[in-house]
Structures are given as structure tokens and as C-alpha cells.
Amino acid sequence: MAAGLDYDEFYHATFHRVVGQVFAMTGSLAEAEDSVQEAYARAWQSWNKISEYEDPEAWVRSVAFRISVSSWRKTMSRFTAHKRQAQSEEQPALSPDRLAIMNALRLITPEQRQVIVLHHFLDRSVEEISRETGAPTGTVKARLARGRRALAPHLSEFAESAPATVKQPKSKPSKSREERVPHV
């Protein structure tokens, strides 16, 4: 079939068809495109020999399918190895304190959480945090202060009895006019 065709003509005449066929075999268009491209690259390297085959397109399709199967096997082997390694390694458990901090951080605003972590966990200065976040230093200081205040009830030894959300302190009710004005 390909006798007389140069490689470029063969490639342009068969590429889309082979991708469609390998896609049907693998179920993944990305995998089909990658493996077919690799198969055509291999065909190009040995085109003088492959062009003499009775059906060079079948050779490319077969090679592409084997490449995709090989890729799948490699992926599964890596997955199995990672899974095996994860099971064999003992993962250090989070300490109760660390767990309490992580849970409490979820209860404050993302902006407060960001500056708390940068300042207290990563030892960044207010100025460094300001540069990293793009927030003015005053804003960073306010977020740190509000974040600490919001975290406090969740990190005390009586955290179970603390409310789930941080409530702002209520202001004292104002006195009525009669209470403020002395009777004469």
C-alpha cells in the first residue's frame, strides 16, 4: 500500500484514522494521540523498511496499541508501588494539639488563616507577609489580631464548650433617656 508513498503522504493520509481506531481500543483520546504520535515517530525512523510492508498502517496501529498498553502497565505499576510503599511506611499521627490547631484554622476566614500560618508557622514578618499577599502592613496586623482573637476560644482547654463560630462581644445596652437624665 505505502510503496511509492513518501512518509509525509503516508502520515497525512492515515494519522486521523489511526488515532480514531486506537482511541476506540484504549478509550482515551489523549492516550491514543500520544501513542499514535510515538508510533509514527518510530515508523519515520525506519521508513525505508516499513514502507515495504504490505500494510504499514496496520504496523503503526499495532505499535500504537502496544505503546498505550505499555504506558497503562507502567502507570499501574507505579500506582501499585506507591500504594505498597504508603502501606509499609508508618505515617506519623497528628498530635492532639496539631489536630486542634488544624480544625480551629478552618473556622476563621481564609485571609486570617493565611496570615496566621505565614506568621506563626513559617515565621514570616509582617512586612514579608505584606509583600507576599499584597495587603498593606496595617491590614496584615489587623488580620493577625482578629485571627488570634477568633482562634482563642477554639484552642483553650475548654474548647469543647466554646461556640462553633466566633461571636462578637455584645455592647452594653444604652440607657434610656429617662435613665440618663436626672430627675429634678
Residue range(s) defining the domain that contains residue 114: 96-161
Q: How many residues does the chain have?
A: 184
Question: Are 7 and 14 within 8 A, CB to CB?
Answer: no
Number of domains in the chain: 2
Task: Please indicate, yes or no, whether residues 50 and 80 belong to a single structural domain of this protein.
Answer: yes
Task: Please indicate, yes or no, whether residues 81 and 33 belong to a single structural domain of this protein.
Answer: yes
Task: Please indicate, yes or no, whether residues 74 and 128 belong to a single structural domain of this protein.
Answer: no
Residue 156 to residues 53, 101, 110, Cα–Cα distance (Å)? 78, 10, 21
129-166 pLDDT tens trace: 898 788 999 999 999 999 999 988 988 765 554 444 44
Instruction: Indicate the SS3 state at residue 28.
Output: coil
Which triple of cell numbers denotes residue 172?
452594653
Instruction: Give the list of residues 6+ apart from residue 130 with CB closer than 8 angstroms, or none.
Output: 136, 137, 139, 140
CA–CA separation, 49 vs 56, rounded Å? 10
In a domain, 130, yes or no: yes
Which triple of cell numbers denotes residue 34?
500520544
pLDDT band at 123 (very low <50, low <70, confident <90, very high): confident
Task: Please indicate, yes or no, whether residues 42 and 24 belong to a single structural domain of this protein.
Answer: yes
pLDDT value of residue 156: 76
47-92 pLDDT tens trace: 999 999 999 999 999 899 889 877 666 666 666 766 666 665 555 5
Torsion angles phi and psi, residue 30, rounded to 5: -60, -45
CA–CA separation, 81 vs 84, rounded Å? 5
In a domain, 151, yes or no: yes
In a domain, 177, yes or no: no
Of 41, 62, 88, which one is at a domain's C-terminal end?
A: 88
Task: Please indicate, yes or no, whether residues 18 and 60 belong to a single structural domain of this protein.
Answer: yes
Task: Please indicate, yes or no, whether residues 100 and 53 belong to a single structural domain of this protein.
Answer: no
| pTM of model > 0.75 | no
Of 88, 106, 127, which one is at a domain's C-terminal end?
A: 88
Sign of CA dihedral 93, 99, 105, 107: positive
- C-alpha closest to that of 147 among 101, 179, 180, 184: 101
CA–CA separation, 50 vs 59, rounded Å? 8
Task: Please indicate, yes or no, whether residues 16 and 78 belong to a single structural domain of this protein.
Answer: yes
Residue 50 to residues 8, 110, 159, Cα–Cα distance (Å)? 14, 60, 74
